Amino acid sequence: MNRILFEQSEIVDGIATFGGERAEHVLDVLHGEVGQVLKTGVVDGLIGTSEIVSICRDEATGERIVSAKVDHRFESLRPWVDLILAPPRPRVLKRLLPQLTAMGVGRIVLVGARKVEKDFWGATLLKPEIYRPLLVEGLMQSGTSILPEIVLKRGFRRFLSDDLDVMFPSRRRVVAHPYGAEGAPSQADGEPEGRLLLSVGPEGGWTDEEVALLESHGFSRYSLGGRILRTDTALIALLARLSPTASGFMV
Ligand code: SAM
């Protein structure tokens, strides 16, 4: 955890009170003591620091509880990319969510491309109370606070025809696909402005028809080369490659 994040409801009269994993991290990893200043923030809010004012144990549960006086006055770094993802198996997605968040993804639209496994849509992971902590974990890792949004769009064609332009007007659009533009720089390279919209296929890959449809909606193909990567490897490599920070445009 590079920044401890609080829910707004945990802060009363300028004092944040928290237990669980965050308190354990503060006490056992950061060796927190009264007077120590922590990097903190509010989920979907401002970031800054907090000074520990007390450490105690809950009498009923024995849980260690930390209270800290908050001073949050700075804006977090904002996401630089949104994702259209034909989801992999839930256990792969579960591993990915904190990492996508930490790498700066703002909105993740999970779409029902043809090769997405049908039973994916019944996964427990899709419940906000299950995936939200994974997103917050990614924010605490990266030290940011803007919570990504997850949107489910099971109908791929309908999403493209009805929702794409409304949700993502005037965006640079890129479809990651191993075939067709091998090694060639794409429009995604070298553009310093604007938030990118990246689409990544299912574990079985995009069908030719889906790639053609994406292209007809303004997506340009982007290949990392002829090696076909696992979805999780491809996603991290794509984000690292396309990041404006990596290109030197933004710090
Ligand atoms: N057998 C599938 C195929 O041939 O397309 C493999 C799909 S791969 C596991 C899942 C997704 O990761 C792909 O649809 C693509 O979006 C992305 N991906 C994997 N390797 C890639 C590469 N070399 N370049 C660009 N995208 C890649």
Statement: residue 80 has pLDDT above 50: yes
Q: How far is the CA of 223 from the centre of ligand 1 (A)?
A: 8
Is 60 exceeded by the pLDDT of residue 249? no
Expressed in angstroms and rounded, the spacing between residue 142 Cα and the centre of ligand 1 is: 26
Question: Given this model, what pLDDT does residue 122 score?
Answer: 95
Distance CA 103, CA 58 (A): 36
Position 8 scores a pLDDT of 96
Residue among 41, 39, 38 at smallest CA distance from 53: 38
pLDDT for 233 beyond 60: yes
Does ligand 1 lie within 6 Å of residue 229's CB atom? yes
CA proximity to 240, closest of 58, 7, 232, 148: 232
Residue 200 in this model has a pLDDT that exceeds 50: yes
Is-above-0.85 flag for pTM? yes
Mean pLDDT of 187-207: 79
Answer yes or no: are the C-beta atoms of 206 and 113 closer than 8 Å: yes
- Which residue's CA is minimally distant from atom 5 of ligand 1? 205
With CA atoms as reference, report the closest residue to 118 among 158, 159, 87. 87
Q: Is the pLDDT of residue 184 over 90?
A: no
User: Which residue has tokens 């590079």?
Assistant: 2
Contacts of 127 (CB under 8 A, 6+ apart): none
Query: In this prediction, what percent of the chain has a pLDDT beyond 90?
Result: 87
For the cut 80, the answer to whether the pLDDT of residue 81 exceeds it is yes
Which atom of ligand 1 lies nearest, measured to the CA of 199?
Answer: 16
**What is the Cα–Cα distance from 112 to 165, expressed in whole angstroms?**
18
Give the span between the Cα atoms of 115 and 113, in whole angstroms: 6
The dihedral through the CA atoms of 11, 15, 147, 119 has a sign that is negative
Is the Cβ atom of 186 under 6 angstroms away from ligand 1? no
pLDDT for 152 equals 98
Q: Please tell me if the CB atom of residue 207 comes closer than 6 angstroms to any atom of ligand 1.
A: no
pLDDT score of 196: 95
> Average per-residue pLDDT in the chain?
92
Q: Taking the mean position of all CA atoms in its chain, how far away is CA 64?
A: 29
Which residue lies with its CA nearest to atom 12 of ligand 1?
A: 231
SS3 of 110, please? strand
